[in-house]
Structure 1
């Protein structure tokens, strides 16, 4: 009897053959890093790369971000062909840049331009973590500064979506200088009475978090984003204390008054539209 029981079970405990596995098209399904659910990639894309089970926010590249926010056909890119040099002669740096250009189809870790969001004009910068982990070198700082200057000149709001590992080590002090340069440009934008909205996405760290990412008139963030300057382990070793589990998350920063709001991605466009509308009507 016991033998028969196991025999029946065996009928159902089948493992898919290699042929069956090969018949599933590559990229059809995605596994959520948050809850491990298996999702249809097509449905995930429709939901702006947010898991419907646990609300985990997948990274978005610059094109996906721009397409999800700006009105169709309104985006005009700035400084598309600007590329980095190798001012310090860092070994292999130019090869890595060229590799990232081919892989991502963009020339640097930030895309800038102008367009409209629900009919409201704005200058936008979107950092892309696929390119050198979104690190800030001379070109990234220059492109952001020029975009801010365009916003000031055209009397438009400026929005930036940050995603960065910090300053780019291959460019040394030249990358650190971009912290001051972008911050000065933002002060001039403020003096012109123009709006600046900073939206921090996962991750926003190092020199980016310590400069332009944190000085918006509105500071927003996506849920679960890592936001901070130094790494968790370095801080714990320095202060010799264990940090809270949610330390350096967007929710932790909101709780401690460092953010104005944590905005889920499906609500981002409507939230930005409300802010832009208020700003537009207030300037009449």
Structure 2
């Protein structure tokens, strides 16, 4: 089978995500990460958390795409990754507070109950939950919906209400997470378009994943140019220039109208244990 090469827009997605993970690892003092679920969305799955690993974190992938795990070896980070297969993402079986941060890139909106999912992410995290999500508040989104309608493709990109940053922030609050940072990333200056590549992938592999496990399904054999940049630690100049602008102005909604992605970072609220003194006062 001919390999599907990730286009330069996807490569830039990965670059900006890599930079965000590097920053968060340092500022939040992270050492253990879980990515759940870890399958891909029109790109090679189970490679979205390599930025955390490159910064020194141990990463656990839930329901990974086994056929893409070779990528971790290519960049010599195979000792930083472990995985858990056939895991129910609402009831993982992980201990409470097992990881410093629980993370997902884009695919969580495919789940039938995002609230149950987020509560489980909160439970297994010691402190933080990070969701990076496709942004529908940008010009490429109406075109994408139009193509689905014209070609009769099933909508397989999850629940669209959660592709709006205000709705995701509300969900965090409803699930008892304090929002410590949010913003827009992947802002290269062009809309997030859908074209012939997307039509081809939808025809061959487009199928909804709305279930409780979000187990990986058969996809193309991917070639991932970004891994070679990571391996050599050398990136194109255009990517570095765009990345500096992207990261510097990432916080808040300033870049939202032209950003392909947004993120919300939440922190677990400290549990209050009221100690009642002998005189009845709360200690």
| Same-fold status (TM-score > 0.5) | no
TM-score (norm 1): 0.30
TM-score (norm 2): 0.30
Larger Rg: 1
Q: Which has the higher contact order (CA 8 A, sep 6+)?
A: 2
